[in-house]
A and B are shown apart, each in its own frame.
Chain A
Amino acid sequence: MNASGRATSAPPAAAVRIVSFSFHGDAGAALRDIRLSVQPGSLTAVLGGSGSGKTTLGKVLAGWLRAGHSGILRGSLALGADVLEFDGASGDPRIDPAAWSGRVGYVPQDAGAMLSSVRSTVAEELAFGLENRAVPRLEMLRRVSRTAELTGLSGLMERDPAELSGGELRRLAVACAVIAEPEVLILDEPLASLDAAGGRQLRTLVDGLLAAGTAVVLLSQAVDALARRAGHWLVLDGGTATAEGSPAELAGGPHLRDAGIVGAGLAAAPPQALPAAPAAAAAPVLELRGIGFGYGPAGVLRGLDLTVRPGEIVAVTGPNGSGKSTLLRHFNGLLRPDAGEVRVQGRSIDGIPAGRIAASVGLLFQQPRDQLFERTVLREVGFGLPRLVGAGAAAGRAHEALAAVGLSDAAGEHPAELPSSRQRLLALATVLARRPAVLALDEPTVGLDRHGLEHLADAVAAAAARGAGVVMVTHDLDYARASAHRVLALDGGTLRETWRRGSA
């Protein structure tokens, strides 16, 4: 309890008490024994590793997962003075999602999922929620323009929402929740895959909301720049609260580490595990010479050169939209250069189908969901393996790759039902199982908790140790320096070395 008289007398903006919440058809409870209360104008961080129940908690509080409709809730939800009690019985109150979401906004981790998909401009997408609530048109115009200003979208109003960059899309999703003027706003991993500029804009936006009296709840598996500003932390592990208190009380404590939370002095990738850089004399596994690609006079890639030797780990950094993913797609022929040449293990890949280059180059996509298409985790990792290594060895390879990323226990699950961090690890396992000579990893750290980052660091080090060349694209400079031999910046369509291990 807060000691100040004002805080105890004023009702919290929202309070949730969960005795248990279980999804229909599941025997065990997804959440149990959690209490959270947030004051107007306060920032609260709910921290937890992959599968800790953060997202489920956020969705229950926001009415995205409704008691009775999506699962069985025992406990209570309170908004201001309104309190709803749930016993998991048929007589429980029913939440009207339209009315509830006007008071509690939720922005999912996948910002694109927030969009209506039937509006053609940013301005109309913003107005969608107001149209449904029959806000008069003049009032709607006023609120659309004010929200756009608050979220830095004013210059993008006529753009097609489907063509926004990751950072712009995140701000639009936040804006779509904010425009309903909710008392509580829940942000699920808002900084994931945002570059430095996008992160700054989001922090400014949160500051503005806090100043306006909105209670903001951050769901995160990292003690990042936003979480550090929170006044109160709640730590979740295995669906239940294991600790809570001020950042000063919890930082560096055992609860954060055990829960798999990243950051705040919790080093993830042990740099000592990094194999020594290879000799410059070794024949390169991957060579790009004078690559040009892109539409218009500027182009995305212009005269780009890159040489990767066996056992070498190279990190590529650059802002959102600088062409990092485009570059990786040239390695395995998913994209073909307009100019220049790509050589893998000394051979030009020109004219070789992408499916054949895949034997030598493994690509981890930026969105793991784009990479997963099978019915079970095991089938996913096993796809294409029999043809590559023979039916006899395929099963062993698949299980080995799952073990390497810590997913052995999930072999029978459906990939779509895994939390997004485990989806990324599964996508990584599909690449590892093929033991390619070149590993191309697109933002491999995004959304991973501490355990996941350790699996990633081990897998990358092991691949390098057996002689694979690794190229990873990341916006996380600290991670790049901790885990790579060289860091290159993609800037103006070419690569420039910004850091080299041992010469710093």
Chain B
Amino acid sequence: MRLHPLTALTAAGCAAVTTTAAGSWPLSLAVALAAVLLAVRAGVGRRVLASAAVILAPLCLSLLVLHGLFFPEGHTVLAQWGPARVTTEGLGFALELASRTAASVLVLLLFSFTVSVPDLLTALAARRIPPQFSFVLASTLTLVPAMAGRLEKIRQAQEARGLVVRRGLLPRLVAARLQAVPLVLGLLEDAGVRAQALDARGFGAAGPRTSYRQLQDPPRQQIFRAVALLLTAAAVVARLVTAWPAAVLA
């Protein structure tokens, strides 16, 4: 069965919110693992993992440094260098936060790499979401492939004029710096022309719109969305109720 894009969006959003609200690392890991398995099944495993690595690696590293080494509430000291103390509590907190973020990032990446952008736009248009908003959303979802294509062209143009990209991280970073400026300038220039073309095709017009593409929204999926939203809201409320007194007392 084909998932309605809003069903997929609801599922991803609810999973992310519930995982955050629950704040339990086994659950976070389970959700992250499930997202990876689903991504592999959908044939986007490599892309999801690569993007997640780019987002999560610096984040996890900073979490580890910040909480692993400098966690004021930590008692069980494992090692100590001057003011930096590695504590069990600090490491636990870092793991907790990292797994929670990883779960959220993975489910949302899974959604963005598997959703059919035209279907999503159709669904949003049918719910009277302003088309400008939908366009920005769609452009964001298609930005990475568009940028990759353009980067490839710039690299070829530079290679054709004597740029030798050697293997290794440093030469690649130097080459990336050479390609970044033309990439951004090119995207900006495109945006200017695109705006004129969109205007000319009535995109800026106020008032109602119609849709050429038609989308099935089975009643079962509508029920699923309603239930998922309710359960998520309940999870958030439960979390607030149980956490608040403790937080206030502390």
Contact = CB atoms under 8 A, between A and B. Distances in A.
Interface of A: 59, 62-65, 96-99, 101-102, 105-106, 108, 110, 113-121, 123-124, 127-137, 140-141, 144, 176, 180, 332, 334, 353-356, 358-359, 362-363, 365, 370-375, 383-384, 387-388, 416, 430, 434
Interface in B190-229: 193-194, 196-205, 207-213
A248 B231 CA distance: 79
Contact of A353 (B165, B204, B205, B213): B165
Contacts, number: 157
A226 to B, nearest CB: 22
Nearest to A114: B197
Nearest to B188: A416
Q: Is the interface of B mostly helix, strand, loop or mixed?
A: helix
9 A-B pairs closest in CB distance:
A373-B182, A355-B164, A127-B212, A132-B202, A98-B205, A384-B162, A97-B199, A101-B200, A98-B202
Contact of B142 (A99, A118, A354): A118
Contact of B200 (A97, A141, A353, A371): A97
Interface string B108-125: 000000001110010001
Of A64, A354, A375, most B-chain CB atoms within 10 Å: A354
A116 B198 contact: yes
A353 B121 CA distance: 43
Interface residues of B, number: 47
A117 B197 CA distance: 11
Contact of B160 (A105, A176, A363, A375): A363
B230 to A, nearest CB: 32
Interface stretch (B8-16, B29-37, B98-106, B149-157): B149-157
26 contacts: A98-B202, A101-B199, A101-B202, A108-B193, A113-B194, A114-B197, A115-B197, A116-B201, A118-B139, A124-B213, A129-B201, A131-B125, A133-B202, A176-B201, A334-B156, A334-B160, A354-B156, A354-B160, A355-B159, A371-B157, A373-B154, A373-B181, A375-B181, A383-B162, A384-B163, A430-B161
A103 B44 CA distance: 45
B88 interface: no
Contact of A113 (B138, B159, B197): B197
B45 interface: no
Nearest to A364: B160
Contacts of B118: 118-121, 124
Contacts of A434: 161-162
Contacts of B189: 416
B1 interface: no
Contacts of A180: 201-202
A354 B160 CA distance: 6
Nearest to A380: B161
A153 to B, nearest CB: 15
B160 A130 contact: no
B186 interface: yes
Given A115-B197, A118-B138, A370-B153, A129 B164 contact: no
